[in-house]
């Protein structure tokens, strides 16, 4: 979410509508997203169908592992801190994004460092680390290819796993030509070479690197990082100082648990059986070793995760392993893209965790970016009931539900919407009123085809939909069918 929040619900909605309208009108964006999502979905489907003899059993095991670890997370965090400290890591606790940013900033001041090279880290996006550092006159330089592209454009990632998936190779060539003064190219190999040349000079001189964490192993006090480009390994092994930002839900009891989740994560994320680089870091550089950082710091980030954990319903969102497959299969995401969610975490998982991290008062319209088709729940490798949670968060938005979501201050209530739903409930719970309402729709509904553009509510609904053809209503059709049968 942006540091600046709209002052009213209407302003907030307008901000979302502007972003959505812009992306829907961008034909090239929609083509790029469809091609990319279709590729990722097909890769996953083919791999699961050919390489796994019981994928569903593996999903169930992954679900059980995550829930088991979440139930004992306080104890695992203490165990991880103790073992990691014993291994030589320096552990820091951050209750929110501001504390995490300040920890890194003060560390940079202490070490007289003005530039930090980053491997891919969604946690750093969550806390707006790059913007924070820029305001301090320092620089966070991305090294992941997708992150490099969007940093050149001063954009946020559009996807959890593939941050620049909304750009095709021709567009990327134009970006490199304009921003890096490179020759205009479109072949992937040549584009990779341009990015490699651009980054290599930075890798030669940097002193501090930053990364995320995929799994933090409590029993070993170690962290496990997954990546495909090698830049992550450079960002963690080459500098004098390595800083890792780890959401507290990433702490897992054992390597065995992490290995199972890893077997679910990679196929779900990219449709590949394994990732190119598995970086397991057990300590900073030890005596006699030739590489590795001299100092290694791990920031354990809460940022309202504790509030999520204590809720017996919504805590299931913390099972997320950040594979992004819910985005890949979402019929809304592949039309509007990640930027339209105005959040570091887009798509179905973003709709569930963003209100709980930043406050539902700051992002409630994003809950409408869901058709409740259930694909995300069906595809989630650890079986998070995403569609169910999105539906329940909608009830929180109007002042119902469990009423303990961060930022649930009443500002998201829409009196008009509440009144309409109350009237609907009155009609829907009375057979006589319901049949009368359907009769009125069957009589007057066809007029909507001619006047929908001036009818409040209906004009917004038909802005992106064709007006349906209305022929009678269900009860009358059944009555006619019964009459035919009885004759």
The secondary structure of residue 290, as a DSSP letter, is S
Would you call 68 helix, strand, or coil by DSSP?
A: helix
- Which of 360, 365, 407 is closest to 16 using CA atoms? 365
Is the pLDDT assigned to residue 442 strictly greater than 60?
Answer: yes
Q: How many CB atoms lie within 10 A of CB 72?
A: 13
- State the pairing for strand pair 241-247/208-211: parallel
Burial of residue 50 (CB within 10 Å: 0-12, 13-18, 19+) is exposed
pLDDT digits (tens, 9 = 90+) for 298-317: 999 999 999 999 998 999 99
Question: What confidence tier does 360 reach under pLDDT thresholds 50, 70, 90?
Answer: very high
The pLDDT, as a whole number, for residue 467 is 80
What region, left, alpha or beta, does residue 383 occupy, with left being phi > 0 and alpha being psi -120 to 50 degrees?
Answer: left
- CA–CA separation, 197 vs 145, rounded Å? 12
Task: Check whether 486 has a pLDDT greater than 70.
Answer: no
326 sits in which H/E element: helix 325-328
**pLDDT value of residue 479:** 59
Phi, psi of 209 (to 5 degrees): -125, 150
Q: What are phi and psi of 474, to 5 degrees?
A: -60, -45
Q: 414: which DSSP letter?
A: -
The H or E element containing residue 140 is strand 139-142
Q: Taking the CA atoms of the chain, what radius of gyration do you get in angstroms?
A: 25
- Whether the CB-CB separation of 386 and 371 falls below 8 Å is answered with no
pLDDT over 60 (residue 170) = yes
Predicted confidence at residue 402, as pLDDT, reads: 79
Q: Is the pLDDT of residue 475 over 80?
A: no
Nearest-angstrom CA–CA distance, 267 and 476: 50
pLDDT of residue 478: 56
CA dihedral 391, 165, 235, 345 (to 10 degrees): -20
For 355-411, give the DSSP string.
HHHH-GGGTGGGGGS-----HHHHH-TT---HHHHHHHHHHHHTT-TT--STT-SST
pTM of the model: 0.89
Question: Does 230 have pLDDT greater than 90?
Answer: no
pLDDT value at 483 more than 70: no
Answer yes or no: are the C-beta atoms of 133 and 140 closer than 8 Å: yes
- Identify the residue whose tokens are 């739903």: 421
Query: Cβ(123)–Cβ(212) under 8 Å?
Result: yes
136: helix, strand or coil = coil
Distances in Å between the Cα of 298 and the Cα atoms of 216, 315, 371, 444 are 10, 24, 39, 64
C-alpha of 241 from chain center: 28
How far is residue 155 from each of residues 37, 167, 210, 259, measured CA to CA in Å?
Answer: 20, 12, 19, 33
Q: Which residue ranges does the chain devote to CATH 3.40.50.10420?
A: 52-167+207-303
In this predicted model, what pLDDT tens digit does every residue of 418-438 receive, in sequence order?
Answer: 888 888 899 999 999 988 888
User: Considering the chain, what is the average pLDDT of its residues?
Assistant: 91
Q: Quick one: which of 88, 95, 92, 119 has its CA closest to 104?
A: 92
Architecture of the domain whose range is 52-167+207-303:
3-Layer(aba) Sandwich (3.40)
- Find out whether 323 and 265 touch, Cβ atoms under 8 Å: yes
Please provide residue 155's backbone torsions phi and psi, each rounded to the nearest 5 degrees: -115, 165
Would you place residue 333 in the very low, low, confident or very high pLDDT band (cuts 50, 70, 90)? Answer: very high
């Amino acid at each position: 979410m942006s540091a600046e929040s709209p002052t009213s619900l209407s302003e907030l909605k307008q901000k979302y509508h502007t972003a959505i309208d812009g992306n829907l009108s961008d034909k090239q964006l929609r083509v790029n997203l469809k091609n990319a999502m279709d590729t990722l979905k097909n890769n996953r489907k083919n791999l699961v169908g050919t390489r796994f003899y019981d994928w569903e059993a593996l999903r169930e095991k992954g679900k059980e592992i995550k829930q088991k670890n979440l139930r004992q997370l306080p104890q695992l965090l203490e165990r991880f801190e103790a073992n990691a400290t014993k291994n030589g890591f320096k552990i820091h606790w951050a209750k929110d994004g501001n504390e995490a940013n300040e920890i890194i900033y003060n560390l940079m001041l202490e070490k007289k460092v003005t530039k930090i090279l980053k491997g891919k880290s969604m946690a750093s996006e969550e806390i707006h680390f790059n913007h924070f550092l820029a305001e301090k006159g320092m620089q966070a330089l991305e090294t992941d290819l997708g992150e490099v592209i969007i940093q050149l454009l001063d954009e946020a990632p559009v996807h959890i796993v593939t941050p620049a998936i909304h750009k095709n190779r021709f567009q990327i060539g134009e970006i490199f030509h304009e921003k890096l003064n490179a020759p205009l190219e479109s072949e992937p190999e040549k584009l990779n070479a341009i990015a490699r040349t651009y980054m290599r000079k930075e890798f030669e001189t940097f002193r501090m690197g930053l990364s995320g964490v995929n799994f933090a192993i409590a029993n070993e006090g170690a962290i496990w990082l997954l990546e495909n480009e090698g830049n992550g390994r450079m960002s963690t092994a080459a500098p004098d100082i390595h800083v890792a930002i780890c959401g507290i839900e990433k702490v897992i009891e054992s390597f065995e648990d992490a290995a199972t989740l890893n077997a679910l994560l990679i196929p779900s994320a990219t449709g590949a059986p394994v990732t190119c680089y598995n970086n397991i870091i057990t300590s900073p550089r030890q005596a006699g070793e030739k590489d590795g950082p001299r100092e290694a710091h791990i920031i354990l980030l809460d940022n309202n995760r504790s509030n999520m954990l204590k809720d017996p319903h919504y805590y299931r969102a913390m099972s997320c392993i950040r594979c992004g497959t819910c985005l890949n299969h979402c019929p809304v995401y592949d039309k509007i893209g990640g930027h339209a969610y105005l959040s570091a975490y887009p798509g179905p998982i973003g709709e569930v965790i963003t209100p709980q991290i930043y406050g539902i008062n700051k992002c409630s319209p994003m809950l409408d970016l869901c058709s409740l088709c259930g694909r995300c729940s069906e595809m989630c490798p650890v079986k998070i009931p995403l569609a169910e949670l999105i539906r329940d968060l909608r009830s929180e938005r109007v002042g119902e539900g469990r009423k303990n979501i961060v930022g649930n201050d009443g500002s998201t209530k829409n009196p008009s919407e509440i009144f309409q739903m109350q009237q609907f409930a009155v009609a829907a719970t009375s057979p006589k009123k319901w049949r009368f309402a359907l009769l009125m729709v069957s009589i007057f509904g066809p007029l909507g085809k001619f006047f929908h553009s001036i009818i409040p509510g209906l004009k917004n609904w038909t802005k992106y939909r064709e007006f349906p053809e209305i022929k009678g209503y269900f009860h009358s059709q059944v009555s006619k069918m019964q009459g035919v049968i009885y004759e």
